[in-house]
Chains A and B, each alone.
Chain A
C-alpha cells in the first residue's frame, strides 16, 4: 500500500487494520464508533428518566432504579461521550492535517489511549451488569463511601481508568502542536480549532489527575475504611467536593472549548469571512482555560464552605464569563458583510450560538450568590448545564461531523435530511430544556423521582421535547450510515474552505498530503 496514493480507508474490513493501526484517522474512527455507542446508551437512559417524569407519581420505575439510571446517564454522557467527543474524534482526525503533519507526535500512544478508553468503558458496562451505581456522576461523600449499596467501586474504577486516556490524548496534542507545525505555520496562523485543542489539552493534562486522586481516595475509604472524607474518623466530606469540582469545573471547558473551535471554523467558512478578531479569540480561549481552574467553589455556595470564599468564587465566575462573551460577539460580528450559506453545518453553528448564549447567561444567574442559593440543585441548574453541554458541545459536535464528513469518509452527506435534522434538534432541545428553567425557579429540585403535582405540566412538555430530540439524533445516525455507501463522492474541498486539512484528497491518503501543504493566512475567505 502506497502511503501517499492509497486512501487510508483501504483494507476497511480487516480487523487487524483497525486494532493495530497507528493512523490518527483510523483511531479517530474508532473513537467515533465507541462514543456513539455510549451516546445512545446515555440517551436511552435519559429517555427512561423523561418517561418516568411524565407523571408526578413514581410509577414507571422504582426510586432505586431511577437513581441508578440518572447516575448512568451522567457518568456515560460526561466521561464516555462529552469529554472525548470532539478532541478524540475530530481532534484526532484533523489536528495533524491542520498542522500539515503526517500523524500525531506519538502514534502508538494515541492507539494506547483508545485502548485505555475501551477498558474504562468495559468497567462501566460491568457496572451496569453488576446492577448499576446510585451516587450520581458526582460521587459525593459520605454517601458514595459509606452509605451507597451499589457498584461504586466498579463505576469509580471506570472513570479513573478513562481519565488516563484523556491525559494521554492531551499530552499527544500538546507535543504535536509544539513540534509538528509545517514550515511557515506560525502560532498566530493556526486555525482556532487548533488553539482550542491546545487549551483543552492543557486542561486535560492538568485537571484530570486531581479527579483520579479523588476517585482513588473514594476507593480507599470505601474498601479499607481509611477516614479521608468520613467525619467520624476525622475526615472532611467537603474535601471531596473541592477535589471533585477542581476537576469537574474545568471539565466543562474540556467540553466547550473544542466546540468553540469547531464553530469558529464553520462560521468563518459559511459566511465567507475572515474570523472577526482572531487575536481576541486566541486570548479568550487561553483566558477561559486559565480562569476555568479558579471557579470550582461556585458549586459549593450552600455547602458550608466559608462565606467569604463564596464571595471570591462568585467574583471569579463573573470574570470567566467575559472571554466567552467576547467570543460570542466575534462570531456574531464575523457574519457582517459575508456571503452566508445555510448548509447543515452552519445551521448547527448558529444553533450553537443561540443555545450557548442562553447557557452562558443563565450561568450568570447562578454566579449571583443569593440567586444561586435559591436555584442550587434545582432544575434551573439542570437546564443551564444541558444548554452548555448539549446545546453547546453536542450541537457543535454534530456541526463538525457534518462539516468534515466529506473529508473523513470521502462522501457527501445528503443535505435536505441533514437540514431537517439540525432544525429538529434545535426545536427538540429547546422544548426539552427551556421549561426546566421555569421549573427550577418555581422550586423543582433535581434528581427527584417523584414530585408535587404542580410541576407536572412543564415536565410533560419537557418529556415530549425529549422525544423530538431523540428523533433528531436518530435521523443523522440513519442518513450518515446511508451516505457511507451511497453518498455522492466528495471532491477534496467541497466547501471551498481555506483550512489546510482541505488540501488533502477526500478521503486522505495514509500520509495525508500528496505534496507538502503551504499554509497561508487562516480564514482567507475575502
Chain B
C-alpha cells in the first residue's frame, strides 16, 4: 500500500522547502528551538548544580531564602511574556498572510473523498491524488469534501487546510522550487486514512505549459458549467433583463440583502447554498420560487456551475 504512490525522498529533519513561505516558517521554528533549548539547558543545569551542591549529607547547610520571591517571579513572568508576544506576533503575521491573501490567483478546486483527492483545474483538466502547478504563480486551492472531514497537507509548503463537507475552505501558496512533493491527508478520515497520499508536482513554466497542452480538454470548467446551466434550465429564470430572478453577472463577491434583513457576501459558500438550498437565503425583492438542487447536482457539477457564474462577471468587466 505504502510505496506505489509515495514520493521517494530521503529523510530530512527539515522537509524540502518548496516556497519562500516554507523557509519563513522554518525560521520561526529555529528561533523557538533556540529559545526553548536555552531554557531547558538552564533548567537541567540548575537541577544538576543544586543536586550536587545541596545534596543531603554534603555537610553544607544553607539557610533562608536567597532572592526576593515576588520580584523574581514577576520579573520572570514579564520577561517570558514579552518573549511569547514576539512569537505570537510572528506566527500570527505569517498565518494571516497565508490564509488571507487577497490577490487574484489561479484557483484550483480540490475535492476530498474517502480515500482520494480529486483535483479539478479551471482548464477542465482533472487529476487524482496528484496536483500539477507552475513555479512562481500564486495558486489558491478551494477545498471541499464529499463525505467526512479531510485535511490537505503538503509539508514542503508547510501548509495544511481541512476540507469540510458542504462548505468551501481556501488556502493559497506560491511555489518557488520545481520538484515532486508529498501530499498527505492529515485529518483522520476512516479505514484508509493513511492510504490517502499523493503528490504535488511543481513544474517550471515551460514544463507546465507542456503539461497543460497534453491534458487539454475540449471544454473548460466554465464552459461545462454553461452546458449544465442550460440542462438544468437555470436560464429559464436567470436570463438577461429578467425580474424573476437575481442577475448573476457581476454578482460574485458583492454584498446581497436577504429577505430576512441580513446582508451576506456572495462568496462561493453563499452561491453553493443558493443553488442547493435556495429557500434558506432568498434575496430581497425576489420571489422565493427557485427549487432546491440538493442531491441533484454533484460536487463537481457545482464547481462547474460556480465557474460559469463567475465567468459571466469576467465577460461583463473584461
Decide if B125 is an interface residue (CB 8 Å cutoff): no
Report 8 cross-chain contacts, Cβ distance below 8 Å, ordered by A residue: A57-B3, A339-B56, A354-B40, A369-B91, A374-B159, A442-B155, A443-B155, A443-B156
Closest Cβ–Cβ distance, residue A441 to chain B (whole Å): 6
**B39 in contact with A357 (CB, 8 Å):** yes
Interface string of A489-526 (1 = CB under 8 A from B): 00000000000000000000000000000000000001
Closest Cβ–Cβ distance, residue B44 to chain A (whole Å): 6
Decide if A326 is an interface residue (CB 8 Å cutoff): yes
CA distance A368 to B164 in the complex (A): 24
B153: nearest chain-A partner, CB-CB: A445
Interface string of B188-207 (1 = CB under 8 A from A): 11111111010000000000
- Give the residues from 119 to 146 in chain A that come closer than 8 angstroms, CB to CB, to chain B: 134, 136, 138, 140, 142-143, 146
- Give the residues from 108 to 158 in chain B that come closer than 8 angstroms, CB to CB, to chain A: 114, 147-149, 151, 153, 155-156, 158
Nearest 9 Cβ contacts at the A-B interface: A368-B91, A443-B155, A370-B94, A231-B166, A369-B95, A337-B62, A335-B50, A448-B194, A361-B36
Interface string of B160-171 (1 = CB under 8 A from A): 111011110100
Interface centre among A301, A340, A376 (most CB of B within 10 A): A340
Closest Cβ–Cβ distance, residue B99 to chain A (whole Å): 5
**A374 in contact with B294 (CB, 8 Å):** no
Decide if A232 is an interface residue (CB 8 Å cutoff): yes
Decide if A414 is an interface residue (CB 8 Å cutoff): no
**B54 in contact with A271 (CB, 8 Å):** yes
**A302 in contact with B151 (CB, 8 Å):** yes
The 8 Å CB contact of B147, one of A136, A147, A315, A326, is A147
**B44 in contact with A337 (CB, 8 Å):** no
- Whether A332 contacts B2 in the complex (CB less than 8 A), given A277-B73, A357-B40, comes out as no
A303: chain B residues at CB < 8 Å are 149, 162, 164
**B88 in contact with A443 (CB, 8 Å):** no
- Whether A232 contacts B165 in the complex (CB less than 8 A), given A357-B39, A376-B160, comes out as yes
B169: chain A residues at CB < 8 Å are 304
B9: chain A residues at CB < 8 Å are 452, 454
Decide if B224 is an interface residue (CB 8 Å cutoff): no
Decide if A482 is an interface residue (CB 8 Å cutoff): no
**A358 in contact with B2 (CB, 8 Å):** no
CA distance A448 to B148 in the complex (A): 17
- Give the residues from 262 to 306 in chain B that come closer than 8 angstroms, CB to CB, to chain A: 280, 294
CA distance A315 to B56 in the complex (A): 43
Closest Cβ–Cβ distance, residue B28 to chain A (whole Å): 6
Decide if B261 is an interface residue (CB 8 Å cutoff): no
**A302 in contact with B162 (CB, 8 Å):** yes
Excluding A361-B36, A370-B91, 17 further A-B contacts by CB distance (< 8 Å) are A56-B2, A67-B190, A142-B165, A304-B164, A307-B95, A311-B92, A339-B54, A340-B55, A357-B43, A368-B87, A369-B92, A373-B95, A373-B159, A377-B187, A442-B14, A453-B3, A454-B12
- Give the residues from 3 to 52 in chain B that come closer than 8 angstroms, CB to CB, to chain A: 3, 6-7, 9-15, 24-25, 28-29, 32, 36, 39-40, 43-44, 46-47, 50-51
Decide if A329 is an interface residue (CB 8 Å cutoff): yes
Interface string of B211-234 (1 = CB under 8 A from A): 000000000000000000000000
**B3 in contact with A302 (CB, 8 Å):** no
B168: nearest chain-A partner, CB-CB: A304
B169: nearest chain-A partner, CB-CB: A304
In the complex, identify which listed stretch (A10-18, A164-172, A317-325) lies at the interface while the others stay far away.
A317-325
CA distance A460 to B175 in the complex (A): 33
Interface centre among B58, B61, B76 (most CB of A within 10 A): B76
Decide if A44 is an interface residue (CB 8 Å cutoff): no
B294: nearest chain-A partner, CB-CB: A232
CA distance A307 to B10 in the complex (A): 35
**B14 in contact with A368 (CB, 8 Å):** no
The 8 Å CB contact of B43, one of A332, A339, A448, A526, is A332
Interface centre among B73, B148, B186 (most CB of A within 10 A): B73
Closest Cβ–Cβ distance, residue B188 to chain A (whole Å): 4
